[in-house]
A and B are shown apart, each in its own frame.
Chain A
Amino acid sequence: MNQIRKILEHFGETVVLCLRAFSHLPTLPRQWRRLIEQCYLVGYTTFPIVAILSFFIGSVLALQAGYSLQAVAGQDFIGALVGLSLARELAPVMTAILLAGRVGSATSAELATMKVYQEVDALVTMNIPPERILVLPRLVAVLLMMPVLTLTANLIGWIGGAIIAQNVDFIQLDTRIYFQGIQNFVGFRDIMDGLIKAEIFGFVVLLVSCNVGLRTTGGPREIGASVTRAVVISLILILILDYFVTSALMQF
């Protein structure tokens, strides 16, 4: 019972934090420096790891698909399978998971440190709402950067799949046929559904990380605990939300 109450409290706090942050939206134009800094952190620093992982995920998808489909001589559909899997599911989920590990953990660590060392209290006493300068730029940055990262993950994953499909002995699928499969089976709607999911996951990851960081109490030891908590909650929420958002998107 106590555990349920805590979860509900945490949920309520997170919603309130989100509303408070966006109540300061009119101040965003004069916070452009902070926004660019956060876009750099979310986008640029996450890009290399997203690129490497999406390349290998595309590759392994093509390898598995080639292996499974050779029995029914269905290699021509490898492009469609890799393309759809990445666009609708793997690219947004994988990007969000990497975001939780890379940016979510850094965000919760930074805000928890600021809270423990009274920097957040100092902002409050200066009548500067912490949500305005610490949370809003991060949330807007993730909304701007997640589509870019997810589209990049799609593209690099598809290329990874194409290279494997063409060069592995038991597949040897022509790149033209591979990309023809993507073109025929992956529609604008599939890409958009993936981007919507990525936006939701990324937003939730940053919101949870900010909230966990800002709720940190105690000493330096709690900073580490907050980072772990933020990443674990983010990962659980990504996978739970994945089912519900996918179901919801299928209704439209």
Chain B
Amino acid sequence: MNQDTALEPERSRSSIGLKIEHLSKSYDSVTVLNDISLEVNPGEIFVIMGPSGSGKSVLLKQVAGLEVPTRGRILIDGKDIADPKTRPSVSMALVFQAGALFNSMSVFDNLALYPREHRLYNPKTIRDKVMRALQTLSLEDAAEKHPSQLSGGMRKRVAIARALVMEPELILYDEPTSELDPTMAATISEVIADLKEEFGVTSLVVSHDRDLALTISDRVAILMHGDLLQVATPENTRRSENPRVKDFLNPVIDIKNPRFKKKEYAS
């Protein structure tokens, strides 16, 4: 049978939900995540915000199946991620904070790796899809370059383009707009929103970017020191009366009374 004709030209996409139940993660005696429970609805853009070291990226690693939680469970589309059969059946992509691009391959090959390895399409379709993803992120000229020849921001965009080629039902973003200029950060926010509009892709975004969180998200969770403080709509998050949330979202620089000297921050 001809391989080219045997393959499906397009894969169907649907939305999947995510449920985290009483998740805790400790490294030796240090607890990084403490009894986290939340639910991301199918097709939703769910942003987790919090200061550095609050456990956001660790949470993302548990969801991606890169680490095993100390307690609790994660259900994707109703299936426990701890079950080895679940992961291959879920179409999920993770956009790493530093890109995690394959340095030995060109940008084009980085993007084409997933469909090639899973033999999803014929070479021409793969080429078309890769070029379309590169165009979406204004990276057409970078196709033949190697990741080492790109700036930090470009590497981030390539990582997002690689996720687009995977045509996932769930995308996990780890700080997608860090290291990007404001225009490109806005473009990335638009891409995330567009994936929801066009394909109903569920997005779980970990970010410091207040503009991204409060503009394109459906709901925002605030995570601090491993504890989930609140889950609310962007509007309610903006109006939150929680002093820690307020201070995180609207920090005021006070030279005379710096926050790092205050007791509540020291604890």
Contact = CB atoms under 8 A, between A and B. Distances in A.
Chain A binding site: helix, strand, loop or mixed by DSSP?
helix
B102 A119 contact: yes
Name the residue in B65, B98, B100 with the highest tally of chain A Cβ atoms < 10 Å from its Cβ. B100
A33 B57 CA distance: 35
B103 interface: yes
Interface in B72-123: 87-88, 92-94, 96, 98, 100-104, 113-114, 117-118
B65 A122 contact: no
B87 A117 contact: no
A117 B88 CA distance: 23
Nearest to A129: B117
A126 interface: yes
Contact of A126 (B101, B103, B104, B166): B166
Given A119-B103, A121-B66, A126 B114 contact: yes
A128 B96 contact: no
B92 A125 contact: yes
Contacts of B118: 127-128
A129 B64 CA distance: 14
The size bracket of the interface on B is: 20 to 34
Interface in A97-128: 110, 113-114, 117-119, 121-122, 124-128
Interface of B: 64-66, 87-88, 92-94, 96, 98, 100-104, 113-114, 117-118, 166
Contacts of B94: 121-122, 125
Contacts of A119: 100-103
Contact of B100 (A110, A118, A127, A133): A118
A126 B117 contact: yes
Nearest to A120: B100
Interface string A48-75: 0000000000000000000000000000
Contacts of A122: 94, 96, 100-102
Nearest to A113: B103
Nearest to A125: B94
Most buried by B among A110, A113, A127: A127
A116 to B, nearest CB: 11
A47 B102 CA distance: 28
Contacts of A117: 98, 100, 103
Contact of A127 (B66, B87, B96, B102): B87
B169 to A, nearest CB: 13
A37 B103 CA distance: 16
